[in-house]
């Protein structure tokens, strides 16, 4: 499942690229995870009556 | 009373109309040189040695990019007073920059057509053209463009800070800043062709698949409020969702240009997975416009500008089909390994640029026309219908023909012949390929006919509308 | 004052924050990736070539060497193979500086003559004429190909240079290359640029180059 490193130059991204879609999953996760934080902090603000805009 | 006098109260909107006018002239030039190059595919002797394919194509592409930029700047100058509630700050400078830009564009095009090529040294790059597809403009013009765009940005920012800063204007401010900044990535010479193309894509990709798309989302938002009275809060929320999705997929989607130019293998996966998501926001745009349309129809409030709204519908369709579906069809490296550098790209390019940008900006021009003559309501005329039908039909037809050409080229040249020169020519000589080029030419002529109707309509629709409004109520022309 | 409903999904602020986060972070990732990529695609040195160090983009001095394009068992794609020394316009001792200048002159000429608006380079450009990515290795220009005898030259580089200077004399197709006023020096430089480009590791593009002779015509 984990493939041998084949690219010309070893690098962090090249290493992540060895597993099945691991590089993409990593990148998408780091982008999407903080959105949970944004969601809950918005919910908290609205509960406190801060309705913005 | 039928008047040809501008009914616009803001200088900014008068300038917008000037930008639209030059844009339409350049649109005509784009189509003309598209025609010569399409003919050359079938009859290579046509204008050979006079306007060679390379020259015609360079003008075809550059005229398009420049007219889209003109229409984009024009649209911003149009909507800025509406959104901020004040006259654009520094509009006199804006007008001066318009003349400078137009003069520069004229000189560049004349040099393209008259000088065409220079010796292999830095002087050619500075004075004639840069020889890099899409951003061929010579370096002196690059610097001029940067100056003009900085002036434009200065006006936009100053106006937004002085007047009311709506969500639409905020998005446009950030987006235009990024758009202008990215141009710098294409303004230096490098000896290494891989590094060259790496930065080259920063300009091309991050323009057309990121910043331009966000621009269009914002402008369509404004257009929906204008034409069908969409709810501003929902529009602004939707624009921010579009920004998140377009930039979220589009920025790293640049990886699909980094498959085969010498860049590392990890780009294969990044490019594939991020660019595969690029159609999602385009589908979102489509759903949103149709949804708003349905809501508006339910409320039975009159649509104030049917031609503009029709063009916005075309843009959502065309953007999703051309950029989304046609882009996705060859974005995965498993497919792109064989389709890269074939007519596939041309098929995708024609429908994507038309759907995403041409249609949206023509819609904005119709809003400009309506405002120019102070019309409460503007309805489709016969020429407007012919224009939209023939232009869209023509581009769709060219796209279908080029898609078939792309298939044939991929199978014969790449599949059967292993991408050699001989394979290239065997592919090009295939009767199926030649038929496809024939259909592309025919549909190109249809597109040009559509353009003729569009131009006729743009010159007459206001008067037609005024006459009809006089007939019915006679109040429309009185209100400024 | 009436109680407002709590709705995160319908909040402009939430989506604005999301948009700012996603955009900002995607930009940071792109910058990080670019910082990782640029050193990998910067040209190698003449020492790399002498010591057999593989580079994605070798030094311009690669014009002193024979270049192949073979299937790599580990990567399962075709990669450029840099072989032994090879004459290029009668020399194989171009220094690093000399070769770099020559290839750069070639690149400048390719830009000035607008090659990219008919041909493709690394698959990018126009589709009116053949791809130039591996043109140096194309069988059409090899000993057995039709173009060398057409120009009456003994080597690939001389045949290419001759063609570039007088394309009108050698019609290869109804779609002829126009005479672009390429000088002898520029022609040599362009061929050097093409030879160098064929040594770039393009992750296997074009696939099966020169391996399949066309099923229709196969013997």
| Chain B residues with CB-CB distance to A23 below 8 A | 266, 269-270
C194 and C101: one domain? Answer: yes
C69 and C118: one domain? Answer: yes
pLDDT, average across residues A12-37: 91
C27 and C91: one domain? Answer: no
Which residue in chain B is spatially nearest to A6 when comparing CA positions? B265
Q: Is residue C81 in some structural domain? A: yes
Question: B131 vs C38: CB contact, 8 Å cut-off?
Answer: no
pLDDT, average across residues C169-191: 94
Q: Is A34 touching C (CB cutoff 8 A)?
A: yes
DSSP helix/strand/coil, B102: helix
Residue B19 above 90 pLDDT?
yes
Give how far Cα B132 sits from Cα of A42, B296, B363, C192, Å: 47, 46, 31, 19
Which residue of C71, C105, C116, C117 to mutate against B (max B Cβ within 10 Å)?
A: C117
SS (H, E, C) B39-85: HHHHCCCCCCCCCCHHHHHHHHHHHHHHHHHHHHHHHHHHHHHHHHC
Looking at chain C, the whole-number percentage of residues with pLDDT higher than 70 is 94
The encoded tokens of residue C181 equal: 């006023």
* Higher-confidence position of C85 and B283: C85
Give the integer Cα–Cα distance in Å for B124 and B131: 9
CB nearest B418 (choices: C26, C40, C212) = C212
Domain carrying residue C28: 14-42
C28 and C55: one domain? Answer: no
Residue B478 above 60 pLDDT?
no
pLDDT value at residue C208: 86
C21 and C81: one domain? Answer: no
- pLDDT tens digits for B119-141? 999 999 999 999 999 999 999 99
Give the integer Cα–Cα distance in Å for B15 and C17: 34
pLDDT value at residue B476: 44
* Highest CATH level, class, for B302-480: mainly alpha
Give the integer Cα–Cα distance in Å for B406 and B429: 13
CA distance A15 to chain B (A): 9
Give the integer Cα–Cα distance in Å for C178 and C181: 9
User: What is the number of domains present in chain C?
Assistant: 2
- Contact indicator for B458, B369 with CB cutoff of 8 Å: yes
Phi, psi of B278 (to 5 degrees): -55, -35
C33 and C55: one domain? Answer: no
Give how far Cα C112 sits from Cα of B31, B89, B418, Å: 25, 41, 30
C31 and C110: one domain? Answer: no
C80 and C187: one domain? Answer: yes
The encoded tokens of residue C208 equal: 């099966």
The string over B295-326, giving b where at least 16 C-beta atoms fall within 10 Å of a residue's C-beta and e elsewhere, is ebeeeeeebbbbbbbbbbbbbbbbbbbbbbeb
pLDDT, average across residues B169-197: 95
Question: Which residues make Cβ contacts (< 8 Å) with residue B186, sequence separation at least 6?
Answer: B132, B135, B142, B199, B200, B202, B203, B204
C56 and C87: one domain? Answer: yes
pLDDT value at residue C219: 41
pLDDT value at residue B5: 55
- The ipTM, to two decimals, is 0.95
Q: How many CB pairs under 8 A join A and B?
A: 34
C115 and C167: one domain? Answer: yes
Q: Is residue C216 in some structural domain? A: no
pLDDT value at residue A20: 87
SS (H, E, C) C102-151: HHHHHHHHHHHCCHHHCCEECCEECCCCCECCCHHHCHHHCCCCCHHHHH
- pLDDT tens digits for C32-91? 999 999 999 999 999 999 999 999 999 999 999 999 999 999 888 999 999 999 999 999
Q: How many residues does chain B have?
A: 480
CB nearest B248 (choices: C22, C41, C212) = C22
Q: Is residue C8 in some structural domain? A: no
Give the integer Cα–Cα distance in Å for A40 and A43: 5
Residue C175 above 90 pLDDT?
yes
Question: B191 vs C23: CB contact, 8 Å cut-off?
Answer: no
- Contact indicator for C192, C102 with CB cutoff of 8 Å: yes
Looking at chain B, the whole-number percentage of residues with pLDDT higher than 90 is 86
- pLDDT tens digits for B205-227? 999 999 999 999 999 999 999 99
SS (H, E, C) C40-68: HHCCCCHHHHHCCCCCCCCCHHHHHEEEE
pLDDT value at residue B434: 97
What is the model's pTM? 0.94
H/E stretch holding B13: helix B11-42
C69 and C18: one domain? Answer: no
C72 and C165: one domain? Answer: yes
Residue B453 above 50 pLDDT?
yes
CATH number for position C182: 1.10.760.10
Question: A51 falls in which pLDDT band (50, 70, 90)?
Answer: confident
Q: Is residue C9 in some structural domain? A: no
The encoded tokens of residue C79 equal: 């990669």
Question: B4 falls in which pLDDT band (50, 70, 90)?
Answer: low
């Amino acid at each position: 499942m984990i493939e041998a490193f084949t690219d010309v130059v070893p690098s962090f991204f090249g290493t992540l690229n060895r597993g099945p879609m691991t590089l993409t999953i990593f990148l998408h996760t780091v982008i999407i995870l903080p959105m949970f934080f944004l969601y809950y902090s918005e919910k908290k603000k609205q509960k406190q009556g801060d309705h913005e805009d | 009373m039928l008047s040809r006098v501008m009914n616009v109260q803001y200088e900014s909107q008068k300038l917008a109309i000037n930008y639209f006018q030059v844009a339409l002239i350049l649109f005509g030039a784009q189509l003309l040189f598209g025609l010569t190059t399409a003919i050359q595919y079938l009859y290579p002797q046509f204008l050979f040695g006079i306007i060679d394919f390379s020259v015609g194509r360079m003008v075809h592409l550059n005229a398009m990019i420049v007219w889209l930029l003109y229409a984009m700047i024009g649209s911003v100058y149009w909507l800025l007073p509406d959104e901020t509630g004040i006259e654009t700050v520094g509009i006199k400078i804006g007008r001066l920059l318009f003349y400078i830009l137009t003069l520069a564009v004229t000189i560049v095009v004349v040099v393209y057509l008259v000088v065409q090529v220079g010796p292999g040294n830095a002087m050619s790059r500075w004075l004639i053209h840069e020889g890099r597809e899409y951003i061929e403009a010579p370096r002196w013009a690059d610097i001029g463009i940067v100056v003009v765009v900085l002036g434009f940005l200065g006006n936009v920012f100053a106006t937004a800070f002085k007047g009311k800063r709506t969500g639409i204007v905020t998005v446009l401010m950030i987006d235009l800043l990024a758009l202008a900044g990215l141009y710098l990535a294409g303004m230096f010479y490098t000896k290494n062709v891989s590094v060259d193309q790496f930065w080259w894509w920063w300009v091309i990709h991050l323009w057309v698949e990121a910043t331009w798309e966000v621009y269009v989302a914002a402008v369509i938002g404004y257009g929906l409020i204008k034409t069908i009275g969409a709810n501003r809060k929902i529009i602004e929320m939707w624009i921010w969702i579009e920004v998140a999705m377009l930039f979220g997929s589009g920025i790293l989607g640049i990886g699909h240009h980094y498959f085969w130019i010498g860049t590392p293998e990890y780009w294969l996966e990044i490019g594939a997975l991020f660019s595969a998501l690029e159609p999602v926001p385009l589908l979102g745009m489509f759903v949103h416009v149709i949804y708003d349309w349905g809501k508006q129809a339910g409320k039975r409030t009159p649509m104030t500008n049917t031609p503009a709204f029709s063009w916005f519908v075309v843009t959502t369709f065309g953007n999703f089909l051309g950029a989304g579906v046609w882009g996705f069809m060859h974005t995965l490296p498993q497919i792109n390994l064989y389709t890269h550098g074939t007519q596939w790209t041309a098929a995708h390019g024609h429908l994507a640029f038309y759907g995403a940008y041409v249609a949206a900006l023509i819609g904005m021009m119709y809003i400009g026309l309506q405002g120019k003559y102070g019309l409460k309501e503007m309805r489709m005329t016969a020429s407007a219908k012919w224009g939209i039908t023939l232009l869209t039909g023509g581009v769709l037809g060219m796209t279908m023909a080029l898609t078939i050409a792309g298939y044939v080229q991929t199978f014969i040249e790449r599949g059967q012949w292993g991408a050699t020169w001989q394979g290239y020519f065997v592919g090009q000589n295939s009767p199926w390929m030649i038929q496809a080029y024939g259909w592309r030419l025919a549909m190109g002529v249809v597109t040009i006919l559509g353009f003729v109707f569009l131009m006729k309509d743009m010159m007459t629709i206001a008067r037609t509308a005024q006459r009809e409004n006089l007939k019915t109520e006679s109040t429309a022309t009185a209100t400024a | 004052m009436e109680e407002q409903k709590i709705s995160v999904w319908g909040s402009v602020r939430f989506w604005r924050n999301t948009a700012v986060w996603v955009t900002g972070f995607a930009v940071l990732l792109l910058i990080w990736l670019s910082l990782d990529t640029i050193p990998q695609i910067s040209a190698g040195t003449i020492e790399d070539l002498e010591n057999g160090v593989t580079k994605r983009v070798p030094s311009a001095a690669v014009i002193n060497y024979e270049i192949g394009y073979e299937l790599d068992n580990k990567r399962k794609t075709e990669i450029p193979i840099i072989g032994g020394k090879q004459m290029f316009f009668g020399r194989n001792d171009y220094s690093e500086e000399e070769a770099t200048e020559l290839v750069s002159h070639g690149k400048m000429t390719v830009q000035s003559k607008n090659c990219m608006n008919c041909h493709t380079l690394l698959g990018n450009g126009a589709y009116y004429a053949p791809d130039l990515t591996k043109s140096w290795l194309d069988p059409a220009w090899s000993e057995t190909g039709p173009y060398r005898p057409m120009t009456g030259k003994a080597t690939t580089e001389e045949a290419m240079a001759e063609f570039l200077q007088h394309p009108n004399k050698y019609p290869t197709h109804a779609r002829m290359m126009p005479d672009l006023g390429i000088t002898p020096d520029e022609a040599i430089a362009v061929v050097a640029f093409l030879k160098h480009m064929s040594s770039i590791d393009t992750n296997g593009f074009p696939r099966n180059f020169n391996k399949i002779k066309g099923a229709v015509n196969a013997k």
